[in-house]
Structure 1
Amino acid sequence: MKKLPTIHGVTEHDAGPYRMERLDLEFSNGERRQFERLHGRGHGAVVVVPMLDDDTVLLVREYAAGFHRYELGLVKGRIDRGETPEQAADRELKEEAGYGARSLLRLRELSLAPTYMSHATQLVLARDLYPERLAGDEPEPLDVVPWRLDELDQLILRDEFSEGRSIAALFIIREWLRSHR
């Protein structure tokens, strides 16, 4: 295992919803560098893979301000203070898709950009769904789109399905389900 760089100092400043840190690092070969990293101010996030049945996942279509378009993807959101990833997944599923889940399984953590950001997202598989809606923070109802996992090859080529966590999560879930049937 490679030795981690030595942190000689850290300076911080506010960056909106993030805290920006500048690290003074020394690597094992003696090289010194300044790296910056972002820390989220929350308790993490979840991405939920809601399985309507053994072969069908539920996607949601919502407005994506970053690209000013509608984006198709998985249910996702932040973990509130005091919530487990499974509780957050169930709440977000009810708010965004109008379903609850009797079975919630946290499978793994996904990172967004680990070279400069500490943000982590918990991947949660939701099964045994039942209709239940909670009021959320979305300004309009989201379209719920069932999609068969055996048509994942078609989904990943759609322009409106571009979010990396959703793409990674569906491939992980598809393989996990294949090995656990």
Structure 2
Amino acid sequence: MKKFEEKTIHSNRLYEGKIINLKVDDVSLPNGHTSKRELIEHPGAVAIIAITTDKKIIMVEQYRKALERSLVEIPAGKLEPGEAPETTAMRELEEETGYTAEKLVKIQTFATSPGFADEVIHLFAAEGLSKATNGAVLDDDEFVELMAITIEEAEQMVADERIYDAKTAFAVLWAKQHLLIEN
């Protein structure tokens, strides 16, 4: 038995979307009582830390409707059904940034919002960057500005809350440590 496990008594799917599904589960709690859990199902995602030979981090700035503002983020994207995270990461890196990588190194897999969502992000470092022949190939509904910034600029963007999401803040910390080790 899992510590503090909540067993599902009944599940009611309220919405099935292109990116997420929403359901409400009735659960039995460890103390014998029952409760409801509002849950989001997500297929998972990847995120890529891409550092150029001149020690700049490739970022994209894009509008995030949920927060009603633009954010600076590392390249990322949703897993497609049956697609390996490494495949998604290579595809998203090229589509969003116009870069390809010789190699991907897995850094971490982590939950984004475990209180209500099952989404996990697979975080990779891209090594051996080069410009793709096609450049960035964005989806029809995707509008991003590409930028290459220093670790100091990234830290300032975290302080200014231009970098505001957890995956990118984690990536900045990782990149700083990684760049310090290399020097």
TM-score in terms of structure 2 length: 0.82
Q: Is the 8 A contact 2:154 2:163 kept in 1?
A: no
Q: 1:97–1:34: structure 2 CA closer, same or farther, 3 Å change rule?
A: same
* Residues 81-160 of structure 1 aligned to structure 2 (within 5 Å): 81-132=81-132, 133-137=135-139, 142-160=144-162
Q: Is the 8 A contact 2:155 2:172 kept in 1?
A: no
- Give the deviation of 1:12 after TM superposition: 1.7
CA–CA distance in 2 between the matches of 1:39 and 1:5?
17
| SS across alignment from 2:57 | strand
Give the aligned partner of residue 10 of structure 1: 11
Give the aligned partner of residue 25 of structure 1: 27
Q: 1:131–1:7: structure 2 CA closer, same or farther, 3 Å change rule?
A: same
Count residues with an aligned counterpart. 179
Q: Is the 8 A contact 1:47 1:89 kept in 2?
A: yes
Q: 1:44–1:151: structure 2 CA closer, same or farther, 3 Å change rule?
A: same
- Give the deviation of 1:55 after TM superposition: 3.4
Residue identity matched to 2:155: D
Q: Is the 8 A contact 1:55 1:150 kept in 2?
A: no
Q: 1:90–1:3: structure 2 CA closer, same or farther, 3 Å change rule?
A: same
Unaligned runs of 5+ in 2: none
Give the aligned partner of residue 45 of structure 1: 45
- Give the deviation of 1:100 after TM superposition: 0.3
CA–CA distance in 2 between the matches of 1:30 and 1:176?
48
Q: Which segment drifts farther, 108-117 or 55-64?
A: 55-64
- Give the deviation of 1:80 after TM superposition: 2.1
Unaligned runs of 5+ in 1: none
- Give the deviation of 1:37 after TM superposition: 0.6
Q: Is the 8 A contact 1:50 1:58 kept in 2?
A: yes
Identity, % of aligned positions: 21
Q: Which runs of 4+ in 1 moved over 6 A?
A: none
Q: 1:39–1:160: structure 2 CA closer, same or farther, 3 Å change rule?
A: same
CA–CA distance in 2 between the matches of 1:81 and 1:163?
25
Q: 1:5–1:103: structure 2 CA closer, same or farther, 3 Å change rule?
A: same
- State the Cα RMSD in Å: 2.6
